């Protein structure tokens, strides 16, 4: 074993290249999660709606406009080389493009911040490895989420803000403000930029200039968006209200604990946080203590206000975990607190066990999603053969947008995520958006309606008046995946088999 370790040390660069390449290949071949399919489905719908950029504003999928732009950009590139109906290959190339963008950003960040980290005795190899593993080596449902895209924008912002010239700080401020248009709460990543500027010992004028410029850009962007497309501003407000508190949620500790099984970086981040608190008792470094506590607190609040409905929301904590990791490396290198050997062994084994569990979870999820996607690819072909006119006209989709991704018929209401029609949140339920949406649905006279059966059965996302409209005007044949409703009008008769998409 020692000989093997020595050989690996002697060929360190080659060893790391092999490891990174292996992880990247695994990242690419793992199927995309359902959220990513919905984002790509919205990009497809945007092409059917009209011209850029209004088409992106119309193709809403309950995320904000920058997320739609990012996936539309990737979608248009991949579409040149691969047919979107070849789902598995198309999705693999999408992940390849996203992965290459991620690696490029991390490489630029590592090279550009070399001197900054050198002051804290942290090597560029450690910086690259931590960022690479955080973005590439994680659960499938955390991949390609707005939080990860926000992390990439954050890294570029930090690179720019560390430069001396004012123009770079202006560009950084623009990027910082744009974080809001990914998901809203991703704007909290701006605290990391502030942390970096403080640790870089930039003067108060530079810090104030960056903060004020960022706020200025954000205000201008909101005004500009309101002038161009006022509905998007309303959607920004509605997006923060559509998750009702009556849905299944868990307390914060449960949420964090369960996510530790699916994201090694969270476990490492918490271990580092505990170690850093021990070090603070020795160093009395109040500045670092306040920086770390503030970062964790703000990002945890960001997770909490999302009601912890979806597990991937924990990904918002990534920058805090990375910050704690770098502070721990700084303390370890300076030998502030030397951990006993048995403590190191316990932590190492704990990290290995959690990593192994995460790998098993990823394998299970990958197999499940792969089989589902492959089956759906075949089902769509058979479905289109059985119902030749299914894709000829606009389709009313009521669901989360996944059915539209597979069927690829133009959506009657432009966007495919028409869920949340029934909601305990009074602001959302009584909004003009929901009223207009219901009105337009009731005016639909098309031949087919596609509804996610889960939403229909549980009746927690579709209101009774819409269910009544569908049942009075359409017949359906239920499956384990979706319902295809057929108009009761005599002149719209159609025969079809019981072939349906599964989720």
Distance CA(85)–CA(354), nearest Å, equals 37
pLDDT at residue 244 in the model: 46
More confident residue, 232 or 132: 132
- Mean residue pLDDT of the chain comes to 80
Q: At what angle do helices 65-81 and 34-49 cross, to 10 degrees?
A: 80
Structure tokens at 354: 């959690």
Q: Can you tell me the mean pLDDT for 4-28?
A: 77
Structure tokens at 139: 């659960």
pLDDT at residue 340 in the model: 76
The share of the chain scoring above pLDDT 90, in percent, equals: 27
The residues with which 483 forms a beta bridge, in sequence order, are 451, 478
Q: What angle do CA 413, 401, 53 make, to 5 degrees?
A: 60
Domain ranges of the chain: 145-242, 387-492
Distance CA(128)–CA(123), nearest Å, equals 9
pLDDT at residue 56 in the model: 82
More confident residue, 143 or 180: 180
Q: What angle do CA 241, 242, 244 make, to 5 degrees?
A: 90
pLDDT at residue 463 in the model: 72
**Helix residue ranges per DSSP H, 312-340:** 318-333
The residues with which 398 forms a beta bridge, in sequence order, are 451
Structure tokens at 375: 């089956």
**Helix residue ranges per DSSP H, 83-165:** 87-112, 114-118, 124-136, 146-161
Q: Can you tell me the mean pLDDT for 134-153?
A: 87
DSSP annotation of 51 reads: S
For the cut 70, the answer to whether the pLDDT of residue 34 exceeds it is yes
For the cut 80, the answer to whether the pLDDT of residue 473 exceeds it is yes
Strands 396-398 and 448-452: parallel
The residues with which 395 forms a beta bridge, in sequence order, are 411
Contacts within 8 Å (CB) and 24+ apart, 406-412: 406/87, 406/376, 406/379, 406/380, 406/501, 407/380, 407/383, 407/450, 407/501, 408/44, 408/84, 408/85, 410/45, 410/48, 410/49, 411/45, 411/48, 412/440, 412/444, 412/446
DSSP annotation of 375 reads: H
Digit-coded pLDDT (tens) for 351-409: 777 777 777 777 877 787 878 777 777 767 776 676 666 666 778 888 777 777 888 78
Q: Can you tell me the mean pLDDT for 63-70?
A: 88
Nearest to 149 by CA among 190, 113, 183: 183
Q: Can you tell me the mean pLDDT for 166-179?
A: 95
CA distances from 270 to 15, 263, 490 (A): 28, 12, 63
Distance CA(460)–CA(181), nearest Å, equals 28
Cα diameter, the chain: 82
Q: Can you tell me the mean pLDDT for 171-175?
A: 96
pTM: 0.86
pLDDT band at 2 (very low <50, low <70, confident <90, very high): low
Label residue 417 left, alpha or beta by phi (over 0 means left) and psi (-120 to 50 means alpha): beta
pLDDT at residue 415 in the model: 62
Distance CA(150)–CA(400), nearest Å, equals 23
For the cut 80, the answer to whether the pLDDT of residue 81 exceeds it is yes
pLDDT at residue 210 in the model: 94
pLDDT band at 78 (very low <50, low <70, confident <90, very high): very high
More confident residue, 252 or 347: 347
pLDDT band at 110 (very low <50, low <70, confident <90, very high): very high
Digit-coded pLDDT (tens) for 192-233: 999 999 998 888 899 999 999 999 999 999 999 889 888 888
Structure tokens at 261: 């099984």
Digit-coded pLDDT (tens) for 260-298: 667 778 888 888 999 999 898 888 888 888 999 999 999
The residues with which 475 forms a beta bridge, in sequence order, are 486
pLDDT at residue 390 in the model: 64
Lowest-pLDDT choice from 123-137, 142-156, 374-388: 374-388
Lowest-pLDDT choice from 40-54, 158-172, 284-298: 40-54
The share of the chain scoring above pLDDT 70, in percent, equals: 80
**Helix residue ranges per DSSP H, 284-317:** 286-304
pLDDT at residue 284 in the model: 82
Lowest-pLDDT choice from 328-337, 371-380, 494-503: 494-503
For the cut 60, the answer to whether the pLDDT of residue 84 exceeds it is yes
> 117: which residues sit within 8 A by CB, 6+ positions away?
123, 124, 127, 326
Which residue do the tokens 């000989």 mark? 3
Structure tokens at 380: 């769509």
């Amino acid at each position: 074993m020692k000989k093997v370790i020595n050989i690996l040390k002697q060929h360190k660069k080659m060893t790391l290249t092999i490891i990174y390449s292996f992880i990247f290949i695994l990242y690419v071949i793992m199927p995309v999660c359902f959220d990513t399919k919905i984002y790509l489905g919205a990009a497809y719908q945007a092409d059917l709606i009209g011209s850029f950029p209004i088409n992106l504003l119309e193709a809403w999928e309950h995320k904000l406009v920058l997320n739609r732009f990012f996936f539309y950009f990737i979608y248009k590139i991949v579409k040149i080389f691969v047919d979107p109906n070849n789902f598995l290959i198309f999705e693999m190339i999408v992940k390849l493009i996203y992965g290459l963008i991620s690696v490029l950003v991390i490489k630029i960040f590592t090279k550009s911040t070399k001197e900054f980290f050198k002051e804290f005795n942290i090597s560029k190899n450690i910086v690259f490895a931590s960022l690479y593993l955080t973005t590439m080596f994680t659960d499938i449902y955390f991949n390609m989420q707005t939080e990860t895209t926000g992390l990439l924008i954050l890294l570029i912002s930090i690179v720019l803000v560390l430069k001396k010239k004012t123009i770079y700080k202006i560009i950084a401020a623009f990027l910082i403000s744009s974080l809001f248009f990914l998901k809203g709460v991703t704007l909290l990543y701006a605290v990391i930029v502030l942390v970096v500027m403080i640790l870089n010992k930039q003067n108060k004028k530079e810090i104030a200039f960056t903060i004020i410029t960022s706020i200025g850009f954000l205000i201008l962007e909101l005004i500009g968006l309101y002038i161009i497309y006022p509905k998007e501003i309303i959607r920004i407000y509605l997006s923060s209200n559509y998750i009702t508190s009556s849905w299944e949620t868990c307390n914060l500790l449960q949420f964090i604990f369960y996510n530790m099984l699916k994201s090694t970086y969270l476990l490492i981040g918490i271990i580092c946080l505990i170690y850093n608190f021990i070090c603070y008792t020795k160093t009395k470094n109040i500045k670092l203590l306040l920086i770390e506590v503030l970062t964790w607190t703000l990002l945890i609040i960001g997770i909490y206000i999302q009601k912890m409905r979806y597990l991937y929301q924990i990904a918002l904590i990534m920058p805090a975990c990375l910050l704690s990791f770098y502070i721990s490396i700084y303390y370890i290198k300076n030998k502030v607190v030397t951990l006993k050997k048995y403590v190191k062994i316990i932590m190492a084994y704990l990290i290995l066990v959690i990593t192994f569990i995460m790998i098993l979870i990823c394998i299970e999820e990958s197999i499940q999603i792969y089989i589902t996607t492959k089956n759906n690819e075949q089902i769509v072909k058979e479905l289109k053969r059985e119902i030749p006119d299914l894709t000829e006209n606009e389709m009313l989709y009521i669901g989360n947008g996944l059915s539209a991704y597979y069927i690829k018929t133009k959506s009657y209401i432009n966007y495919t995520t028409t869920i949340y029609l029934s909601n305990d949140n009074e602001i959302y339920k009584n909004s003009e958006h929901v009223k207009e949406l219901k009105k337009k649905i009731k005016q639909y006279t098309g031949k087919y309606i596609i509804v996610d059966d889960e939403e229909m059965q549980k009746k927690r996302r579709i209101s009774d008046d819409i269910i009544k409209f569908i049942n009075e005007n359409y017949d359906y044949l239920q499956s384990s995946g979706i319902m295809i409703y057929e108009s009761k009008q005599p002149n719209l008769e159609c025969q079809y088999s019981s072939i349906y998409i599964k989720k």
